[in-house]
Chains A and B, each alone.
Chain A
Amino acid sequence: MSLLSVRELSVKFAMRDETVTALDQISFDLGKGERLGIVGESGAGKSITGFALMNLISQPGYIDSGSVTFEGKDIANLPEAGMRHVRGNRMAMIFQDPMVTLNPVLTIGQQMVETLFAHRKLSRAEAKQIAIVKLREVFIPSPEERLNQYPHELSGGMRQRIIIAIALLLDPQLIIADEPTTALDVTIQADIMELLLELCQSNKVGLILITHDLGVVSQMTQRTLVMYAGRIIEAGPTREIINDPQHPYTQGLINALPQQTPPGQRLKQIPGNMPSLTDMPPGCPFSPRCEYATDQCRTTLPDMVRYGDVEVACHEVARLQSGPTQEKSA
């Protein structure tokens, strides 16, 4: 049985004049201890997916339909009190910018201990002990002293480690990491990623890694989802997606990587921009930018179809799969 099962999850935003769909019927599974990457451009809906799993979408957003089954329970419809027991406890989140994630007026110790108190009955001394143990696991030197320090006294890298430690405090089954290294120095990014990978592997914790960085995804995850304009357009084993991308958008992403371009040549960009959620084209959202777009693409939304280990939502791929002699029409 999978740890997490998302089915047809839709998230909408009730704006002043209209309702905008931010996530359009997302479906995916995550097994116990499995590491899944969610990639896409800014605005594709990756972060919203993460928040939706925790039911933390802020107003005016809301979960419109679909189900999120975690550890066998439907949590999308859970009342707030019930959800609070899941958050931080069974499912933990790592935010993007450690500078603003920690409360500047509370000590590290207070912010760690309160998490334990929220979910367990412990004495303060016991809670402190657990905190110190976790701080050691993320290689923070002198953890006892750190407990009494304030966030602004520590470096960005240390803060993010602490946040990882907080995520592991209650031995959750799933960690959702939303762009955990984007706000950090390049030199520290690799360290943090390695740490996260090791901890997830040794504690057998599931990981959903949300990022725009394909390189990170290729090193950290076993499976990947590619999102575009609120939909999943390709899903499968990371290796296959990186080495043999099927969807034209994924191909474009891979081709745009500097490593793919011989030195001295222009980088291959995907022309155009992702459509804004208020201005979605009919049919496949990628059609305006796609070199293979046909009339069918512009009018009908493609379904996610499985080809071997990979699922792709693309008419062109469907055509290619059903017969290599089929011709492309402009």
Chain B
Amino acid sequence: MSSTEITPPSRWTRIAKSGMVHSFRRNPVAVGSMLVFLCIAMAAVFAPVIAPFDPYDPINMDIMNSEFPPVWIDGSDPQFVFGTDDQGRDLWSTILYGTRLSLLIGLCAVALQAFLGISIGLIAGYIGGRTDSLLMRLADIQLSFSTLMVAIIFLAVTQAMFGSETFNQYAVYFLIAVIGVAEWPQYARTVRATVLAEKKKEYIDSARVLGFGPVRIMVRHILPNSLSPIFVISTVQVANAIISEASLSFLGLGMPPSQPSLGSLISSGFDYIFSGSWWITAIPGIVLVVLVLVINLLGDWMRDVLNPKLYKG
């Protein structure tokens, strides 16, 4: 007797054939955004390879080279495509490394938020009762204080306590930690809502009757069903994390000018817009806006696709 069992399609095949990919390909905004994002991301990942200069190497910080404009303006130096900043660093290289930092911090912070938030959301929703009330009350309070405020205070205090040097050394970690920890309520609330809805369904009862422990039920049964809202908010969260990091660095509470992210670049260039060297602020600014914009556009598209009840007619 030949085996006539049908192997269920793998998860990848299912995703590829799903309506989501189909709808993606038809939407020029989504495709365009994805392309731009991949370009930026690739450029950031391969920065050490692409960048003509290493902006961290003091050799490249020659004050004689400072404030050269981009190549399309008079008085430029052709080896510096986008000009140089106030310290003589090549702006193009610095932007590449800066984007790298911004993306790194954004993605890691969101990974941390997601991990914390999803765990807390699962627990709160599944256990319910007092634990749930307490956790959600904490979430409300945390939310009302806004990530940026908490981050500013935490980083300000940390910087004052440890001194600039130590702080700058560990700045990346501090930023990831504070943005990561401060935003857990977003994920927690979203996941909790799904858990509450799924908890009532029969397959959960079946799983319990079969003797599966709560952790297994939460992770292997409920979690996969809450993936679509998690995806939707993740894009917004990455965009927000990048903006938060840029804002913090702009205030001098984030990445230092020696290891600049896009935010600190913009900050260091701010004073120079009055004296005419607008490119130090403008070009990193444009890169930042484009990066966040395409992430937001992708997020919008995802929300439209995964949330059919909102008919846009």
Contact = CB atoms under 8 A, between A and B. Distances in A.
Direct contact of A and B (CB under 8 A): yes
Interface of A: 59-60
A60 B312 CA distance: 11
A297 to B, nearest CB: 33
B311 interface: yes
Contacts of A60: 313
A88 to B, nearest CB: 24
The DSSP consensus for interface residues of chain A is loop
A59 B313 CA distance: 7
A185 B102 CA distance: 58
A60 B311 CA distance: 10
3 contacts: A59-B311, A59-B313, A60-B313
Contacts of B313: 59-60
Contacts of B311: 59
Interface string B300-313: 00000000000101
Nearest to B23: A16
A18 B279 CA distance: 52
A321 to B, nearest CB: 46
Interface string B280-313: 0000000000000000000000000000000101
The DSSP consensus for interface residues of chain B is loop
A60 B313 CA distance: 8
Contacts of A59: 311, 313
Interface in B194-253: none
A15 to B, nearest CB: 12
A59 B312 CA distance: 10
> Which 3 pairs between the two chains have the least Cβ-Cβ distance?
A59-B313, A60-B313, A59-B311
A59 B311 CA distance: 9
Nearest to A14: B313
A292 to B, nearest CB: 34
A123 to B, nearest CB: 39
A42 B15 CA distance: 31
A20 B295 CA distance: 36
A253 to B, nearest CB: 29
B20 to A, nearest CB: 14
A315 B153 CA distance: 81
Nearest to B313: A59
B249 to A, nearest CB: 44
B139 to A, nearest CB: 26
Nearest to B26: A16
B308 to A, nearest CB: 12
A278 B313 CA distance: 21
Nearest to A60: B313
Nearest to A59: B313
A173 B284 CA distance: 70
A20 to B, nearest CB: 15
A57 to B, nearest CB: 12
B38 to A, nearest CB: 27
A12 to B, nearest CB: 15
Nearest to B311: A59
A214 B311 CA distance: 34
Interface in B145-201: none
A168 to B, nearest CB: 33
A78 B48 CA distance: 69
B240 to A, nearest CB: 32
A56 to B, nearest CB: 15
A188 to B, nearest CB: 25
B304 to A, nearest CB: 13
A257 to B, nearest CB: 28
A95 B313 CA distance: 23
A294 B262 CA distance: 74
A26 to B, nearest CB: 25
B172 to A, nearest CB: 46
B27 to A, nearest CB: 12
A13 to B, nearest CB: 12
A110 to B, nearest CB: 28
A24 B20 CA distance: 32
